[in-house]
Structure 1
Amino acid sequence: MKKLRTNSADWSALMPVLPGEGPRTRELYAAIRRLIEGGQAPSGTKLPTTRDLAARLGVSRAAAVAAFELLVADGFAEARVGAGTFVAPQVPALAPVSREVPPMAAPSPPLPCELGVATMDEKTMRIFRRLLSRSLARPGPEHFHYGDARGTRALRDAIAAYLRTARGVRCDPEQIIVTTGTMHGMDLVVRSVIRPGDAAWIEDPCYGKARTILKAAGARLVGVPVDGEGIDPAQGTIACSKARLAYVTPSHQFPLGVAMSMRRRLALLEWARRNDGWIIEDDYDSEFRFSGPPLACLQGMDDGDRVAYLGTFSKVLFPGMRIGYAVVPRALLAAVLRLRIQSDRQPPTLAQGAIADFLDQGHFAAHLRRVRRRVQSARDRLVAGLRRGGLEVDVPEQGLHLVAGLPSSFDDRALAIAAREADVGALPLSPLHVDAPQRQGLILGFSGFDGEVLAEAAERLCRLL
C-alpha cells in the first residue's frame, strides 16, 4: 500500500473494515492510529476533515471529532488553527492498539487433595435454590438501597445465635460484621490495629495468607513456635513481649492441625490483657470435628474484650458463597467499620438473606450432619491409602486437611511439584515456617473429593516416594 500524500483527502480506501454497523469513536481512533504507527500516514500528513471522514465512513461527525481529540491528546496528531489536523512530527512509541481481549487461563478443576474444596451436597443446593428463588419472587426493600455496612440485621442475628450456641462466642449482633471470608475480616482488623513497625505474633509454621496480610500492613513478624499444645505464649513473650497483635488458629492450627491446650489459651489471654495486645482468632473449620465435644473458642473465654473472632461459610457451605463474619471487640468496632465502608460499602443482600433463612430454619445443622459424615469417610480413605504406601500420618480429629510428615532428607517443595504432575494437589509444609527450623511434609486436603479418588491419589503420591 502506497503512502499518503500530504494533500490526500481520501482515506476511505485505507480504513480497515470494522465490525458492527460502522466505526465508533474508539474503533475509529484505533484504525487511524494503526495507519500512523504503520507508516502509511507519515509525519506531516494532513488528516481529512471530520465532516469528510464521517461522510465517507458512514459514522456520526461527533464520533469523528472525538476520535481526532483522542489522537491529539495521545500525541499522534496536532491541530493547527485555520489549517486542519496533521499527523504529529514525532509519534509516541506506545504499545500497539489491540481490540482483542488478552487470553485468560480458564480455571482448571481442583486436583485431588487440594485445599479449599467444599463438599458438594445436593440437598443443600436444592434448599438454597428455593430460598434464593423466594427472595427474588418477593424481594424486600433491603435489596434496593444501601444498608448497614455490617450486613443485614437478619443475618447478624442468625450468626450471633449460632455462635453463642455452637461455639460459645460472647457477642451481640452489633459486634458482627459480615465479610467475604476470614481473610477479609482479618485484613480489616489488622489495618485497624497495626501501624508500620508494630510487632505481631504469628504461629510458626503459619497460614501463608495471614502472613501476607500482616506484612502488607507493615507489621514486624515474630514467629512463635507451635508444638503439640499449639502456639507457645511463653516463647512469644521471650521473643517480643510487647507485640501489638497475635494471630492464632487455636481450634485447629493451620497447618499442623493441633488444638491449643487450655493452659496455653489462658496464658495467651493473660498476655493480651497485661500488654494491651489484641488477638485474632481464626476459627476457619471448627464445624468439622469428628469425635468428642466441640472445642471452646478463645473469644468465649475472654473477659477483657481483646479477641476478634473470625469465621466463614466458605468451608462448610461453598467458597462461591463468599460470606464470612468477624466478631469485633467493641473498642475496635468504629475503626473496622470505617475501613469496611472505604473499601466495600456493604455485603450483597441477596446471599445474606438466603443464609439467614438457612440458619433460622434449621437447615444448617442438618447440612453439617450430612457433610461431616462424608468428609470423615473421605479422610479415612486418604489415611488408609497413605499408610498402605508407608507414610506415617496422624489421623486428625478435626478439620479438612492432614499433614504427611517426611524425613528431613526429602525436599517437600520438589515433591509437591512432582505430585502436581501426577495429579495430586499437595502443598509443601516447609515454606510455611517463619523462624522455626523447617520441617518437611505435605499438606493434603480431603474435603470435596470422593473416597475412591483420594485412595488413588494416595497411591500415586506414595509411588513418588
Structure 2
Amino acid sequence: MANQVKSGITNILELQPQDSTPLYRQLYERLRLAILTEQLTAGVQLPSTRSLASELGVSRNTVLLAYEQLLAEGYVEGKVGSGTTVAQVLPETLLLCANTKSKSQLKHNQSRHQRLSQRGTALAQTPLIPKPLQTSRGKQQRIFRAGISGINAFPHELWSQLIARRARNSLQNLLTDRDLAGYLPLREAIAAHIVVARGVRCTPTQIIVVAGFQGGIDLAARVLLDPGDAVWMEDPGYLGARGALLGAGANVIPVPVDIEGLDITAGIAKYPQARLVYVTPSHQFPLGVTMSLARRLTLLEWANQNGAWVLEDDYDSEYRFVGRPLTALQGIDSSNCVIYFGTFSKVLFPALRLGYLVVPPDLVEAFITARHFIGTRVPILEQAVLADFMNEGHFNRHIRRMRSLYTQRRATLVAALERELDLEVYAPETGMHLVLWLPPGMDDKLASQQAAAVGIDAMPLSLFSMTETRAGLLLGYAAVDVHEIHDGVHRLATALRAI
C-alpha cells in the first residue's frame, strides 16, 4: 500500500517554489485536501519523510513540518519517523458527530450557529445605501450621487495647514483632554454658530460631539429607548436612522410624508403612544420638503402631551438658497422634548465623520455617562482643527462659497432635465439633491440600474421606503461640475427612454 501511495503521491502534491506561501504550508494544505477528498483514504500509510522529500525535491525539514501539522490537527496518526497513516476519523467528522447524527440533525446544528437575535435579523434585513459606482479605473463615480458634497471646492490646503499647526504647537496638550462631551472650544464654536444660524436655544454644556450621525443616533437610542418601544419614522426616510433604531430594538412605525412634511395625524392613527419620533423637518430626506410651521407646532404639542421624544436631524439646512430657513424645531420647543442633531460630514467632507447632539439640560448627565460606557469618541486632533476652522471664520466663508456654487449647479441640472425629459422635477431651494419623478408604471429600481449602466449614480426612491411609494430617482448636484451636468442628463435621458 505504501508503495502505491509513494508512486502516485507527487501527482497530487505539486508544489510552487515561486509562490509566497512557504513550501511546508503548501505541502500541508495539499495533503489535507487529498485526505478530505478521499484521494488518500483512512488507514493509508504516507511515505516516509525522507523518501517524500526526495520525490518532491525539497528538504526533509519541509516534510517534517507538514506531517507534524497534520498530526497535531488529527488528520494523520502514528509517529513521524516510524510510520504515518491517514486517520480513521477526521477532525471534521468529530466536530459534526457525523457517525451519530442524521442529516436533519446536522442541518439543525448548522442553522443554530447562523441564528441571529431579533434585532440582529431586523438590522441585517435593512437595506444599505449602495456604494458609489466604480469606473473601469477603480475611481469612484459620483455623477449625480445624492448626499455627496462638492469636496473638490473644499479648501484642502488650508485644512492641511491647520492640522500641521495644531500637531506642531499643541498636540501634546490635546493628548490629555478627557472631556467626554467633546473638545470644549469646539462645543463653544458650535453653540455660537447654531444659535445664530439655526435659532437653536442652547449653551455649550448641552452639546455632545459624536462620531457622525450614526454615532449620535446610536447614543440617543440607547439612552431613550427600551426594546420594543414604538418610534415614528418618516416614510420614505433615511436608512441610517432606520438601521440605528432597529439596532436599538425599536418597533419602527412608518409614517407617510406629504408636501407639509411628516403627517402627524397619520402617525397618531397608526400608533398614538409612540415613545419617539425621528424627523428631518428643515429638508426632509429624501423627498426634500420642509415641514410647515403648523405641523411643527402640532408635533411638539403631541410630544409634550404624550411624554414622547423628538429626534431632529438637521443634516444640510446650511444650504438654503433663497431667504432664511425656518427656525429649527428645537428652537421653538418649550417643553425640552427635542434632541437636535447636526453634522459636518455633509457640510465639509464625508470622511470627517464628526457631528454633535444638543440635548435638553436634564439629559446631559445621562448622555455623557452612557457615552463613557459606549466608548465611541471622536479623535481630538480633528475636533481642535475644526474649532480653529470655525473660530477663524473659515467655516462661514466656506458655507457662503458653497451655497453660491450649489445654487448654480442646481439651476443647471433643473434646466437640463426640463430640456431632455418630459418628467416632473421637485427641486426645493435647499439641500444638495432633487427628486426626478418617474411616469406611472415605471420601476425606479430598474431605472436606477439602467442609469448605472451609463455611469449615472441615481438612487431609487423606493430604496428608502417601507411601504409603497411613488417611483422616483434622487439626483445629487453638489459634487457635479456644471460642464458635467449636461452630458450626464443626456445619458440619463437615453437610459430612461430605453425602458
Which of 106-115 and 300-309 deviates more?
Answer: 106-115
Distance verdict in 2 for CA 1:142–1:308, change over 3 Å: farther
Match of residue 37 from structure 1: 33
Match of residue 215 from structure 1: 246
Match of residue 269 from structure 1: 300
Distance verdict in 2 for CA 1:143–1:72, change over 3 Å: farther
Instruction: Give, in angstroms, the shift of residue 179 of structure 1.
Output: 2.1
Instruction: Give, in angstroms, the shift of residue 126 of structure 1.
Output: 1.3
Which of 366-375 and 183-192 deviates more?
Answer: 183-192
Does 1:302 pair with 2:333? yes
Contact 2:304–2:335 (8 Å) recurs in 1: yes
Matches of 1:187 and 1:72, distance apart in 2: 48
* Alignment map for 1:183-222 (pairs within 5 Å): 183-222=214-253
* Alignment map for 1:12-411 (pairs within 5 Å): 17=17, 31-39=27-35, 74-76=73-75, 88-93=87-92, 108-122=139-153, 124-141=155-172, 143-144=174-175, 147-389=178-420, 390-411=422-443
Distance verdict in 2 for CA 1:81–1:347, change over 3 Å: same
Which of 290-299 and 188-197 deviates more?
Answer: 188-197
Contact 2:223–2:367 (8 Å) recurs in 1: yes
TM (normalized to structure 1)?
Answer: 0.82
Does 1:417 pair with 2:462? no
Instruction: Give, in angstroms, the shift of residue 297 of structure 1.
Output: 0.5
Which of 174-183 and 287-296 deviates more?
Answer: 174-183
Instruction: Give, in angstroms, the shift of residue 328 of structure 1.
Output: 2.6
Question: AA paired with 1:401?
Answer: H
Instruction: Give, in angstroms, the shift of residue 409 of structure 1.
Output: 2.4
Contact 1:77–1:86 (8 Å) recurs in 2: yes
Instruction: Give, in angstroms, the shift of residue 424 of structure 1.
Output: 1.4
Instruction: Give, in angstroms, the shift of residue 29 of structure 1.
Output: 5.6
Matches of 1:403 and 1:452, distance apart in 2: 21
Question: AA paired with 1:35?
Answer: L
Distance verdict in 2 for CA 1:346–1:458, change over 3 Å: same
Instruction: Give, in angstroms, the shift of residue 128 of structure 1.
Output: 0.2
Matches of 1:422 and 1:232, distance apart in 2: 37
Matches of 1:119 and 1:89, distance apart in 2: 65
Aligned length: 438
Instruction: Give, in angstroms, the shift of residue 217 of structure 1.
Output: 2.3
1:251-290 CA distances to partner (integer Å, 9 max, x unpaired)? 0011111111111111111111111111111111011000
Gaps of 5+ in 1: 6-12, 95-104
Matches of 2:175 and 2:228, distance apart in 1: 43
Match of residue 96 from structure 2: none
Instruction: Give, in angstroms, the shift of residue 41 of structure 1.
Output: 8.2
Contact 1:47–1:87 (8 Å) recurs in 2: no
Percent identical among aligned pairs is: 41
1:358-384 CA distances to partner (integer Å, 9 max, x unpaired)? 011100001111111111111111100
Question: AA paired with 1:324?
Answer: G
SS of equivalent to 1:347: coil
Question: AA paired with 2:194?
Answer: L
Which of 72-81 and 274-283 deviates more?
Answer: 72-81
TM (normalized to structure 2)?
Answer: 0.77
SS of equivalent to 2:284: coil
Instruction: Give, in angstroms, the shift of residue 294 of structure 1.
Output: 2.8
Instruction: Give, in angstroms, the shift of residue 458 of structure 1.
Output: 1.6
Does 1:449 pair with 2:480? yes
Matches of 1:426 and 1:15, distance apart in 2: 49
Match of residue 99 from structure 1: none
Distance verdict in 2 for CA 1:345–1:220, change over 3 Å: closer
Matches of 2:284 and 2:407, distance apart in 1: 18
Instruction: Give, in angstroms, the shift of residue 321 of structure 1.
Output: 1.4
SS of equivalent to 1:285: coil
Question: AA paired with 1:245?
Answer: L
Contact 1:194–1:219 (8 Å) recurs in 2: yes
Instruction: Give, in angstroms, the shift of residue 57 of structure 1.
Output: 7.6
Which of 147-156 and 279-288 deviates more?
Answer: 147-156
1:148-185 CA distances to partner (integer Å, 9 max, x unpaired)? 33322222222222222211222233332222221221
Matches of 1:273 and 1:84, distance apart in 2: 81
Distance verdict in 2 for CA 1:384–1:175, change over 3 Å: same
Matches of 2:186 and 2:70, distance apart in 1: 52
The two structures, once aligned, show a CA RMSD in angstroms of 3.6
Matches of 2:48 and 2:367, distance apart in 1: 58
Matches of 2:84 and 2:192, distance apart in 1: 70
Contact 2:68–2:80 (8 Å) recurs in 1: no
